[in-house]
Amino acid sequence: MRIIRNIFNLGCISIELGILLICFCNVWVFGLTNGRTYTKISKIPPREIALVLGTSPKMRSGQSNPYFTKRMDAAALLYHHGKIKKIIVSGEKSKGYNEPAAMKNYLVNQEGVPEDIIIEDPKGFNTYKSILRCKDVYKKKNVIIVSQGYHNLRALFFARNNDMNALGFDAQDVTKPESFYRNQAREILARVIAVVYFILGVSPD
């Protein structure tokens, strides 16, 4: 019985430590990015360029991905209101799949954004790579990051820790329960990984 009790106590302690770690990491991310995300176009200060984080343009059903279209709407809104001069569309490009090209095509043909102000980044395979390439490859530090709000917090965490003068403009979220709660839960854990990697000095490639 003593062994079982010890195992049970150890399990409870592990769960408590895990919850504390999740809370600590998320509070850190929220604290570092506090006041740097915007939902209203009238409130956000202008920046040189917008960095639009990629996602699949289509869902498995073949229908348009609302996360994708809302991000394009937000990026176009920034441009048409004179908040930015250029746009980097960053995402994955692989055989038969090209997020940046789809993003550019949508912005030009659906949103009326001039083609010559859009830069395609085909190697934004994840959030961290998109942020780092914006700074190191395209030499842009004064940026507005465009994604849904839950994602922008982690993106800004990466940007702030890489000495970028970044703001976040939150695209409209998708409120379908099956996607909303899944993405929120996944992002809570992703923030923990981001903080742990930062503390350890490891690149989250």
In a domain, 9, yes or no: yes
In a domain, 12, yes or no: yes
- What is the per-residue pLDDT across 146-156, written as a single tens digit (0 to 9) for each? 999 889 999 99
CATH number at residue 118: 3.40.50.620
In a domain, 175, yes or no: yes
In a domain, 60, yes or no: yes
Residue 43's pLDDT band, with cuts at 50, 70 and 90, is very high
**Statement: residue 27 has pLDDT above 90:** no
Residue 120's Cα: distance from chain center in Å? 17
What average pLDDT score do residues 73-78 get? 98
- What is the per-residue pLDDT across 57-71, written as a single tens digit (0 to 9) for each? 998 888 899 999 999
Q: Which residues contact 144 (CB under 8 A, 6 or more apart)?
A: 44, 47, 49, 50, 51, 78, 83, 84, 166, 167, 168, 169
- Rounded Cα distance between 118 and 160, Å, is 24
In a domain, 1, yes or no: yes
Domain count, the chain: 1
In a domain, 23, yes or no: yes
Q: How many Cα neighbours within 13 Å face the side chain of 193?
A: 11
| Residue 67: domain span | 1-200
In a domain, 73, yes or no: yes
In a domain, 205, yes or no: no
- Rounded Cα distance between 2 and 71, Å, is 56
In the chain, the percentage of residues whose pLDDT exceeds 70 is 94
pLDDT value for 13: 74
